[in-house]
Amino acid sequence: MLDVNEIQKIIPHRFPFLLLDRVIEIKGGESIHAYKNVSISEHVFQGHFPGHPIYPGVMIVEGLAQAGGVLAFKSMSEEDQKETENKVVYFMSIDKCKFRAPVTPGDKLEYKVSVIKHRGNIWILKGEAFVDGVLTTEAELKAMIVDK
């Protein structure tokens, strides 16, 4: 399990763009289970949408990508993990993305990301987001780890 302080040691994202609150489980090279508590106090709800707050799909996909980044870094050898502060994960593509149900303030958004394929610094991941066990979002993400 990783708390937000440990997550910030792995990925460079910070408020207001750090979209993970906690990592529940990591299976190196295989999968990650993490979550974000969606709060009405988030800035995005000022404009999306006033009087009818919906957490933007693009933010959900970014949360999946951040979880995937943590998975990729934690799957590296211990020697390579020492270099994470000099590395960053770049999105290469988002495919087969579907939004199945809205996410609203008060929801606990659970991210489940698993490795489809990994070769060198390239990762292909299956990402799914859930609220109360209901699939809200799914996507196939392709990313690469590069030097900053």
130-146 per-position pLDDT tens digit: 999 999 999 999 999 99
Active site residue 33: no
| Residue 82 predicted with pLDDT over 80 | no
96 backbone dihedrals φ, ψ, rounded to 5°: 50, 35
Coil, strand or helix at 76:
coil
| Residue 24 predicted with pLDDT over 90 | yes
Residue whose C-alpha is closest to residue 121's, from 143, 101, 102, 104 = 143
The pTM assigned to this predicted structure is 0.95
The residue from 13, 33, 48, 118 that is catalytic is 48
Pick left, alpha or beta for residue 135 (phi over 0 → left; psi -120 to 50 → alpha; otherwise beta).
beta
Predicted pLDDT at 80: 74
Domain 4-147 sits in which CATH superfamily? Hotdog Thioesterase (3.10.129.10)
Predicted pLDDT at 148: 85
